[in-house]
Amino acid sequence: MADLSEYRFTKSHEWVHLEGGVATVGISDHAQAELGDVIFIELPTVGAVLKAGEKFGTIESVKAASDLYVPVGGTVAAVNDQLSDAPERVNGDPYGEGWMVRLNNVDESGSDLLDEAGYKAIGG
């Protein structure tokens, strides 16, 4: 199990990891398990500016399509291109290789984040 002490979570099951002013974003293990096999992920273009809670993409699994929301605001600095050929990385390693976007110019205003214990408490 990944060490999630540095990760924070949204109620909509995304995670964010802040390091050196860059926020890396993905979805939780609970979310990938609920979605089942991920078929593809639509991600934003680099340079897009997003506010906390704004939609940044769509994830489509065998079971359903779901919107993805950024836990914090920022400018999209990178997207995980590997996911276009290997979306199953989100299932296999949601906190590592399954990351989705990196943001800089991070702005936490308007964000509503839970720590690991808080996320577990809501069923995550």
Partner 1 sequence: MVDFAGYDMPLQYSGIRDEHLAVRQRAGIFDVSHMGEVLVSGDAAQGWLQQLVSNDVSRLDDGQAQYTVMCNQEGGILDDLIVYRGDQEHYLVIVNASTREKDVSWMREHGGGELDLVDASDELALIAVQGPRSVDILEPITTLDGGGSLREMGSFATSRARIAGVPDGVNQRISRTGYSGEDGFEIVVDAGGAVELWDALMAAGGEHGMVPAGLGARDTLRLEAGLRLYGQDMDEATDPYSCGLGWTVKLDKGDFIGGDALRQLRGAPPRRFVGLRLGPRHIARHGQPVIQDGRQVGVITSGTFGFTVGTAVATASVSPDFDRDGDVAVDIRGSKASAEVVPLPFYKRPRGDG
Binding-site member from 2, 46, 49, 65 for partner 1 (CB under 8 A): 65
For residues 15 and 91, is the Cβ–Cβ distance under 8 A? Answer: no
For residues 66 and 55, is the Cβ–Cβ distance under 8 A? Answer: no
Closer residue to partner 1, CB minimum distance, 39 or 77 = 39
* Beta pairing class for 7-9 and 65-69: unpaired
Closer residue to partner 1, CB minimum distance, 39 or 48 = 39
Residues 69-108 that bind partner 1 (CB under 8 A): 88, 91
Consecutive H or E run containing 9: strand 7-9
Binding-site member from 62, 109, 117, 123 for partner 1 (CB under 8 A): 62
CB of 84 to partner 1, least distance (A): 9
Beta-carbon-side half-sphere exposure of residue 29 (alpha carbons within 13 Å): 12
Residue corresponding to tokens 């199990």: 1
- The answer for residues whose C-beta is within 8 angstroms of residue 75's C-beta and 6 or more apart is 47, 48, 49, 50, 103, 104, 105
Residues 34-53 that bind partner 1 (CB under 8 A): 36-37, 39-40, 42
Closer residue to partner 1, CB minimum distance, 51 or 63 = 63
CB of 28 to partner 1, least distance (A): 17
Closer residue to partner 1, CB minimum distance, 92 or 96 = 92
Residues that bind partner 1 (CB under 8 A): 36-37, 39-40, 42, 60, 62-65, 88, 91
